[in-house]
Structure 1
Amino acid sequence: MKFLILLTICVVAVAAGPIPEDERVNGENGWYIPQADGSFVWVSTEEGEELVEKLEKEEEMEGRISTVPVTFYLYTNQNPSKPSKITESAKSIKNSNFNADYPTRFIIHGWTQSYTSSMNSDIRAAWLARGKYNVIVVDWARARSVDYASSVAALSKTGKKVASMINYLNENHGMKLDEVEVIGHSLGAHVAGYAGKGTKAGLLHAIVGLDPALPLISWKKPNKRLSANDAQYVESIQTNGGQLGFLKPIGKGAFYPNGGKSQPGCGWDLTGACDHARSCTYYAEAVARNSFPSMRCGDYQEAVKNNCGVSYSDVKMGGDTNAYVVSGDFYVPVHSSSPYGYGYA
C-alpha cells in the first residue's frame, strides 16, 4: 500500500508539473506529507486532494467500514489506571463504571499513536485528579498506518464512529451533551471535528484541538476538518504551525504558545515532533493547574509575531470556563521546561 500511494503521488506530480521548492508554502499551495521515517514528501494542493479523494473512493467501493476499527476505553475515579473496554450495548455500559451524573471527556490520539500513548495517560490523569469524570480514551487503529494519507482518508469514518458512541450514550444512558468535551491531538483533532459534526441532539459543550494536523487538510474546507462551529466552543492550542500543525486559527479561541510555530526547549526540531507534542503537555498542565495566562491579540499574525502587548488578558489557555466567554486569538508565553505555564504558583 505504501508503494502504491507514493507511486500515485509521483505520477500525479509529473503530470501536473512540479512546484519549484522556493515557491512551496506548506498548507497554501501544497503540503509536506510526513513519512514514518521522519522525512517529508511534497505534494501540491491538487495532488494531495486527488490522492485523499482516491483513497476515500476506494474505501467506499470496497465497503471497508470494518477496516476503520475504533475502540473505546473508559477510565473513572474507580478505575483510574485499568480501563473498561466499552461498546454500544446496554450490558457493556451497565458493567462499567460509567456514570451519567458526571461530566464526560473523550480523548483522541493522533497519527502513529494508540490509546496507551503518553498524551492519553497525562490528560486522563489530569482530569481524574480534578474530580469525578468519565474519561473515554478513543483508540483508532488507522492512525497507525505507515501511510499518513491513509490515516487522513479514515478521518470521516472514524469521527462518525465516535459520534455514534456519543449519540448512544446520550440517547440511552443519560449523558448530557453540554457536559461533554472532546480533546483531540493532531489528526485526532479532526476526528473530534467530525464527531462534533455528527451529534444528533445538539452541539457538544466543547472540543479542544491540540495542534490540529495540517498536512493534507485544507483550511478552506471546514467541513473536512475541525472548525469553530463543531461544538458550542472550539479551542485550538497551536504549537507547530506551518509544519505538522495549522498556523491559521482553527478554534473560536485560538492559542499560540511562544507564537505557535516552535516551542522553547525543543531545540532544532527538524521533524516538528517535539513542538507538535507540546500541545498535549501544555493542555495536561492547563487542566491540572490552570497555569497559562495569555495576551489578547488583534489577529493571529500578531500572535505569531508576539506583537500583542505586555498585559495579560483575563483568559487562560485550556481554562474550563473558556466555553462561555472566549473568542479570538491569544499569545501564550511558556517556559522551556515544566512547569511550562507562566501562571504556575
Structure 2
Amino acid sequence: MMASKLFLCLFIICYLFITIQTASISYDGFGTFNTLDFFDPIHRPINLLPKHPDVINATFSLYTRKNLQNPETYNYNPRINRSQSFFDSNKSTKLIIHGYNEDAREWMHSIKNNYLQLEDLNIILVEWPNGDDPPYVQAVANSQIVGIMVGKFIEFFKNIPLENVHIIGHSLGSHIAGYAGKYLRGRVGRITALDPAGPLFEGVNNSAARLWDTDAQFVDSIHTDRGHDKIPFTSFGMYETCSHISIFVNGAEKQPGCPRERLNALLFEESANRTRHLVFCAHVRSVEYFIETIIPDQLIAKPIAYQCQDWSSFQNGECHDCGLDGSKCVELGPNAEKNRRFKNKSRGHRFFMATGDSPKYIRFQYLITIRMAQSSSENRQAQNAKIFLEFQNNRKNQKQQITFNSNYQKFEYGTNYSQVIVSEINYNQFDSIIMNWSHGPLIELITRSMFVDSIQIISLSEIKLRNKNQQRNIEMIFRPESIEITNRNGIKFHKV
C-alpha cells in the first residue's frame, strides 16, 4: 500500500513538473516540437526541445567505388552539380547512421568498405556530432531533427527509386532511420536497426515516437543488449519488437566474450576505447555481427535465426524448424531481405540464434540431443550428472571437446535432453563421439552407470530443401557401442 502511494506521488510530481515546463518551438521546414510530445509517465517522463537544425548540422559523406578515399560531403540541404557528382541514381543507396555520443565510428567505415567490396553502390555516412552529445535526453530530442534531415537529403535526389534505399542505424541511429522513414511516408525500401536504443523508447506505445515496422517497406532489427519488459533503463537496447523481423542474438542478454572484453578494457585499453568495451560491449555487438554477414564468402556458417517464444526455449531445442514455407527461420544481415515476403507473418515474433565469443562470431549452430534409454527391470536410477562429449574424425585425427551441461542436472530415463551449442568446426565431418560423465568430485569414487540410447545432432546452420515447398535441417544420429556408461569409462558412439 505504501509503495503504491509513493508511486502515485512520484507520478503526480513528475506530471506537474512536465506540465509546468511545457514549451514548444517551430523550425521552418521541420515542424513544431513540444516537450509533451510522446510523453509517458513511466517510459518517457521528460522531454527537451531539439536544437536548431543549423546547430545540429548533420553531414552526409558519399562514397562509391570511384571515390573510396575522397568522399563528397554535404549538409542536409545539398547543392550538388549532379554532372560532377559520383552519385548514381541507377544504383542502390545505403545510408549509415551512428547513435548517441559515439566517438569511435570505425564500424561505419567497415560496413561501407564491406558493401563496396561486394557491389558497386552509393554509400552515405550520416554524422551528427553537434547533436549526439550528453545529456542523453537532449540527443533523443535532436534525433527527430536528424531523421527529418535524412529524409530531406534523400528527397533532394528526386529521381532516386525509394525502394532502392536502405537505411542502417545503430542505437539511437535506428530511431533516426525510423524518423526518416516516417518523413518519407514509409516508402523507403528497407531499414535495418542495429540494437535500437531502449531508454526513453522502450514501452512508449506510439508509432510516431520511435522506430516502427511501418517506417519502411521492410524493417529488420538485430537485438544484442535487451532491456526488460517491466524494468526500464536496465540496458541500452530494446526487448520489444519494433520491426517485421526481430532477431535476438544470444537472447540479447549476455553476449559471449563480453566479460573478457570488459576485463581487458579495464586493465589494458586506453580511455578512448575503454568505455566502448567496458560499458557498451553487448550494445555494439549488433554492429559486429552485421559487419561479418555482409560478405557471405567470408562466413564460417550461415547466420540463421529461428522463431521461438524466448531464449530459454531456443537453447533447450524447442525451436529448430523453419516451418512448411520457411517463414520461421531467417538469416541475420543483408539476406534477411529473403524473408520480406513473410513480413506480415513474422511481425511481432522474436527470432533467436547463438554465436561464438570472439571474431568470427558467426559459427555453426548445432542442436545436440541426448536420448536416455528407457527404464527397465534393472532398477536404473536417474543420475545427477555433468556430461562431456568428445567429437572425433578418425580419418583426419581431429577432435573437439565440449561440456554438454555446464551445471549438474538430473538425467531421467526415457527422457530427451537438448542443448544448442556453437562451433567453428563443421560437425558433418565427425564420425564418432566419446561420452564421459561425472556426478561430482566428492562422490566420484563410487561407480555408477547411465544408460543412453543415442545422441542426435541437428545442424541449425545448414538447411536443405525437402521438396519444392519444404525445408529441413541436416540431421545426424550416433549410437553407442554399449548403452551403459559408467562415470569411470567413456563409451564411443558411431554415426549411423
Which TM-score bucket, shorter chain as reference?
Answer: 0.7 to 0.9
Q: Can you list the C-alpha shifts for 1:213-252, whole angstroms capped at 9, x where unaligned?
A: 0111143222111111110110010000011000121211
Distance 2:122 2:331 in 1: 24
The alpha-carbon deviation at position 91 of structure 1 amounts to 3.0
Structure with greater helix percent? 1
1:324 and 2:308 aligned: no
Q: Matched residue of 1:161: which SS?
A: helix
Pick from 67, 70, 73 the counterpart of residue 55 of structure 2. Answer: 67
Distance 2:150 2:41 in 1: 29
Distance 1:303 1:236 in 2: 20
Contact 1:193/1:225 (<8 A) preserved: yes
Bigger relative contact order (CA 8 A; separation at least 6): 1
Could you tell me the TM-score, scaled by structure 2's length?
Answer: 0.55
Describe how 1:209-220 pairs up with structure 2 within 5 A: 209-219=193-203, 220=205
1:337 counterpart letter in structure 2:
S
Q: Matched residue of 2:252: which SS?
A: coil
1:339 counterpart letter in structure 2:
K
Structure with greater strand percent? 2
Which blocks of at least 5 consecutive residues in structure 2 are unaligned? 1-9, 16-38, 228-234, 263-276, 323-328, 365-423, 427-496
Contact 1:78/1:97 (<8 A) preserved: yes
1:154 and 2:138 aligned: no
Assess, with a 3 A threshold, how the Cα gap between structure 1 residues 98 and 216 changes in structure 2: closer, same or farther.
same
Q: Which residue of 2 aligns with 1:311?
A: 320
Q: Which residue of 1 aligns with 2:188?
A: 204
Distance 2:279 2:321 in 1: 28
The alpha-carbon deviation at position 337 of structure 1 amounts to 1.1
Q: CA RMSD in A?
A: 2.8
Higher alpha-carbon Rg: 2
Q: Which residue of 2 aligns with 1:31?
A: none
Distance 1:296 1:330 in 2: 5
1:237 and 2:229 aligned: no
- More displaced 10-residue stretch of structure 1: 282-291 or 101-110: 282-291
Q: Which residue of 2 aligns with 1:28?
A: none
Q: Which residue of 2 aligns with 1:225?
A: 210
Contact 2:56/2:131 (<8 A) preserved: no
Describe how 1:159-308 pairs up with structure 2 within 5 A: 159-169=147-157, 171=158, 174-199=159-184, 203-219=187-203, 220-242=205-227, 243-267=235-259, 272-289=279-296, 291-299=301-309, 301-302=310-311, 306=315
Count of matched residue positions in the alignment of Structure 1 and Structure 2:
295
Assess, with a 3 A threshold, how the Cα gap between structure 1 residues 162 and 308 changes in structure 2: closer, same or farther.
farther
Q: Which residue of 1 aligns with 2:358?
A: 337
Assess, with a 3 A threshold, how the Cα gap between structure 1 residues 181 and 80 changes in structure 2: closer, same or farther.
same
1:112 and 2:101 aligned: yes
Contact 1:206/1:323 (<8 A) preserved: no
1:204 counterpart letter in structure 2:
V
Q: Can you list the C-alpha shifts for 1:281-310, whole angstroms capped at 9, x where unaligned?
A: 1111111226543342244x3578645636
Describe how 1:7-46 pairs up with structure 2 within 5 A: 15-16=13-14, 46=41
Which blocks of at least 5 consecutive residues in structure 1 are unaligned? 1-11, 18-43
Contact 1:207/1:234 (<8 A) preserved: yes
1:83 and 2:90 aligned: no
The alpha-carbon deviation at position 143 of structure 1 amounts to 4.4
Q: Matched residue of 2:80: which SS?
A: helix
Assess, with a 3 A threshold, how the Cα gap between structure 1 residues 86 and 139 changes in structure 2: closer, same or farther.
same
Q: Can you list the C-alpha shifts for 1:72-110, whole angstroms capped at 9, x where unaligned?
A: 000111122331103544535443211111100000001
Q: Which residue of 2 aligns with 1:26?
A: none
Assess, with a 3 A threshold, how the Cα gap between structure 1 residues 304 and 82 changes in structure 2: closer, same or farther.
farther
- More displaced 10-residue stretch of structure 1: 135-144 or 273-282: 135-144
Contact 2:202/2:238 (<8 A) preserved: no
Q: Can you list the C-alpha shifts for 1:257-290, whole angstroms capped at 9, x where unaligned?
A: 1111221111175964010001011111111226
Distance 1:318 1:155 in 2: 24
Q: Matched residue of 2:331: which SS?
A: coil
Q: Which residue of 2 aligns with 1:95?
A: 84
Contact 2:330/2:339 (<8 A) preserved: no
Assess, with a 3 A threshold, how the Cα gap between structure 1 residues 82 and 323 changes in structure 2: closer, same or farther.
farther
Distance 1:90 1:105 in 2: 20
- More displaced 10-residue stretch of structure 1: 325-334 or 229-238: 325-334
Distance 2:97 2:312 in 1: 27
Assess, with a 3 A threshold, how the Cα gap between structure 1 residues 303 and 279 changes in structure 2: closer, same or farther.
farther
